[in-house]
Structure 1
Amino acid sequence: MPSAQIPWRGPGADRPDLPHPPGSMPLRSAGQNRKCWRYVGLFDEQLMLCAARAEVGPMAQSFWVLFDRGSGRQLAHTALRPGSREVTMDGPALEIDGRGLRASLRLGECEPVESICPSGSGWSWTRKRAGVPIEGTVEIPGRRWQVSARGIDDESAGYHQRHTSWRWSAGVGRSATGQALAWNLVEGVNDPAENSERGIWVDGDPSEPPPVRFDGDREGIELGDGERLEFSAESAHARDDNYLLFRSRYRHSFGSFTGSLRGHELAQGLGVMERHDAVW
C-alpha cells in the first residue's frame, strides 16, 4: 500500500521510504508490475526529436521520432528486440543509431522537479527537467544538424495502477520580455492538487501550478490559474499495441504553442503533446 508520506514533492527532505530510482526496484510490488521509462525531447526551430526507453515488467522497447520542421518530414522507429541498442541513455549522454537516423547528444544541468504520488494500490515516481540544455549532432541521409537547444528529460518509474490513462505536455519557449520559459504539465497521473509533478520554469526556476485540464485531442491546456496554452500540431506519431496482458494506445505530436505561463506571454513556444492509455 502507498505510504502516508505521499504525495511528496522534491528534491528535498522527508523522502518517502518506498523503492524508487536510483535505488533498486523489484519486478512486482503492491500487486502491480514495475514500469519504468526515460524520455528525452529536444525542441528547436530547425527540428524536434524525442527518444525513449521503456520497460513494463519483463517487456522492453525503445523508440525515436524526428521531425524536420523545414521540410515537414517525419521519421520514426520503434525497436521491440530485447537488448536493442538503437537508443542508449547513460546519464547525460543520449545516442541514437537507427535506420535513417544517427544522433549524439549531451544534456546539461537543469533544476529538477521530483514527485512520488499514489497510483491505485501502488505508487509512481518521476523526475522532470524542463528547459534542460541539449547539444550535439543529429544526422539523417543528406542532412546534418549541429544543435544547441533546450528540451525535456523525463525519468519515471513505479507500480502504476493496472489501467492508467493520462495527458501530458512539455515544452520550452521565450516570453515577450525575454525570460526563458519551460513547462511540464499533466492530467491523469502524478497530478494531485499539491505535490504533483507539474512544473513551470521561469529562467530555470521551477514552481508548481494548480491542476490543469487538457481539451480536445491536441488543442490546448487550461491552467488552473486562468491562463491557457493553445497548441498547433506540426507532426503526429501514433502506436497501438495489444499483447493480451499488456495493451497501449499512444498518441504523440510535436508542434508550437501560444498563450501565457505564470503571467508571462509566450513570444514563441515549442514542444510536445501526448496522450497515453495503457493496461499494464
Structure 2
Amino acid sequence: MTLSAAPARLPGLDGQPIFGRFAGPAGAIDWRQLAPPYARSRLWRRFHHKRWHYVALYTEQVFCAVAIVDVGWTNTAFAYAFERHSGRMLAEFSQDGLPGCTASLPHRMAGASQFRLLGKQIHINTGADGASSLTLRCGEFAIDASFGPATAPLLLAAGPVANGAVHATQKSGGMPLRGQLRAGGQSLTLDGGVASFDYSNGLLARNTAWRWASAHDLDVGFNLQAGYFGAQENALWLDGQLYPLGAAQFAYDRNDSRAPWQISTDDGLLELIFTPEGERRGDKNLLVAASRYVQPIGTFSGWVRTAPGQPKRSVQRLAGVTEDHASRW
C-alpha cells in the first residue's frame, strides 16, 4: 500500500483536520485554526494541548533517549544513556520545568525544540528533510550528535482522539548517526550508530494511556502503538520504503517488566519477541496530575513483511524500547 504525500498544513485551509497516514514531512500543525466540530476554546486548549519531541540514539555500546515534553500547563524533559553490555545506566536526567518559561517546541516538526533550567539544557534542531542536531548539557552528561537526513520517507499520522480532539505525529525511520557522548566518566563515539525521532502534537484527553514499541536500523524499523491513538501511527520501514501496519497486540507481564514481550499486528505483517536488558520507570502523583510508566530497553527478534503472502524478513536483536504509560495530565 502506497501512502499519499503529507499535506502542507494541518488543519486544512477550511479548518478541518486531514486524517490518515501519509509519507513525508508535514508543514505547520496549528490546532488553533480548527473549525467545528473539532474546535476548542483557548482555555480548553491550554490544558489539553500536548507536544513532545523524542530522539533515540543507539550504537553497539549504548542506547540513549532524549525528550522534551510540553503538556500545556507545564513542561518536563528527560534523558538517559544505557550501556547495553553491562545493562546499567551510565547517566540519567529528569527535570520538571516552569510553565511557559523553560521549554519551547515548534508548531511543526521542522524547527528548534529547547529546554533550559538551572544551567541544564537540551536543544534539538530538525530540518524539513529530518536532518537533525542534538546538544545536551546536564552536568557531566553531555551529547553532541547529528543525524539524517532521512533515507526513507517520514511518517505523518493524524486522527481523532476520544475525549480529546485531534492528534498528529511525525516519525522517522533509522538515520545515520554521528557524534559524541560523555557519561559516567566515559567519552564514547556515536559515529556509525542509528538515530530516530518522534515529534507529536495533539489535543489529548485528560486521561491518556498507551503501549508503544519502536526500534530502527538503517534498513528495517517500526513504530507500534496501542491505546489512545489506535493503529493510526503503526508503520514499518523496510529497505527505504514505508508501509502502514494494522492494529498492534502487546502481550507481557505487568508484574515483571523484565520478562519477554510478545508483539504482533492483526494484518499478519509483524511478529516479534522483545527481550528487555534494562528499563527506565517513573511513578508520579501530584494530585492534579499523575503519570505511571515503564520503558524497558532491549532487543527485538522475529520477522516482518510488507504484505500477506510476501516473504518474511528476519529481524535479529534489533535495539529499541517498549513502553507501558498512563497519564492524568
Match of 2:209 in 1: 165
Equivalent residue for 2:121? Answer: 86
Q: In 2, Cα distance between the equivalents of 1:72 and 1:199?
A: 29
Q: Which residue of 1 aligns with 2:326?
A: 277
Is the Cα–Cα contact under 8 Å of residues 54 and 67 in structure 2 kept in the other structure? yes
RMSD: 2.8
Quick check: 34-43 or 9-18, which moved more? 9-18
Paired residues, what number?
268
Q: 1:56 to 1:17 in 2, by over 3 A?
A: closer
Q: Which has the higher strand share?
A: 1
Greater shift, 98-107 or 228-237, is seen at 98-107
Q: For residue 264 of structure 1, report the CA deviation from its aligned partner.
A: 0.7
Gaps of 5+ in 1: 175-179
The corresponding residue for 1:48 is 63
Verify: 1:96 aligned to 2:136, yes or no.
Answer: yes
Q: Which residue of 2 aligns with 1:187?
A: 226
State the one-letter code of the partner of 2:21: R
The answer to whether residue 177 in structure 2 is matched with residue 134 in structure 1 is yes
- The Cα of 1:81 is off from its aligned counterpart by 3.4
Question: What is aligned with 1:224?
Answer: 266
Q: Counterpart of 2:20 in structure 1: which amino acid?
A: W
Q: Give 1:184 shift.
A: 0.6
Shift of the 34–133 alpha-carbon distance from structure 1 to 2, 3 Å rule, reads same
Q: State percent identity of aligned pairs.
A: 25
Could you tell me how far apart the structure 1 residues matched to 2:17 and 2:28 are? 6
Q: 1:267 aligns to what?
A: 316
Deviation at 1:32, TM superposition (A): 5.1
Q: Letter of the aligned partner of 1:100 in structure 2?
A: E
Change (3 A) 1:259 1:27: farther
Aligned to 1:236: 279
Alignment partners' CA distance in 1, 2:24 and 2:88: 43
* Shift of residue 250, structure 1, vs aligned partner: 1.6
Normalising by structure 1, we get a TM-score of 0.86
Aligned-pair distance for 1:117?
A: 1.1
Equivalent residues of 1:62, 1:86 under 8 A apart: no
Output the CA distance in 2 between the equivalents of 1:15 and 1:107: 21
| Counterpart residue number, 2:73 | 58
Deviations 1:80-111 (A, max 9, x none): 13322432212211111113311011121222
Tell whether the 8 Å contact from 1:253 to 1:273 is kept in structure 2 after alignment.
yes
Distance 1:248 1:65 in 2: 18
Question: Following the alignment from structure 1 to structure 2, what is the Cα–Cα distance between the partners of residues 7 and 62?
Answer: 29
**1:8 is the counterpart of 2:23:** no
- Aligned: 1:77 with 2:93: yes
Q: 1:171 to 1:28 in 2, by over 3 A?
A: farther
* Structure 1 counterpart of 2:107: none
For 2:234, give the aligned amino acid.
R
1:117–1:15 CA distance, 2 compared to 1 (3 A): farther
Partner residue in 2 for 1:106: 146
- TM-score, length-scaled by structure 2: 0.74
8 Å CA contact retained: 2:25, 2:154 = no
Q: Give the superposition deviation at 1:13.
A: 11
Judged with a 3 Å threshold, the aligned counterparts in structure 2 of structure 1 residues 141 and 162 are, in CA distance, closer, same or farther, namely: closer
1:16–1:210: structure 2 CA closer, same or farther, 3 Å change rule?
farther
Distance, in Å, in 2 between the alignment partners of 1:19 and 1:5 is 9
How far 1:28 sits from its partner (Å)?
A: 4.7
**Could you say which residue in structure 1 is the equivalent of 2:109?**
none
Q: One-letter code of the match for 1:167?
A: R
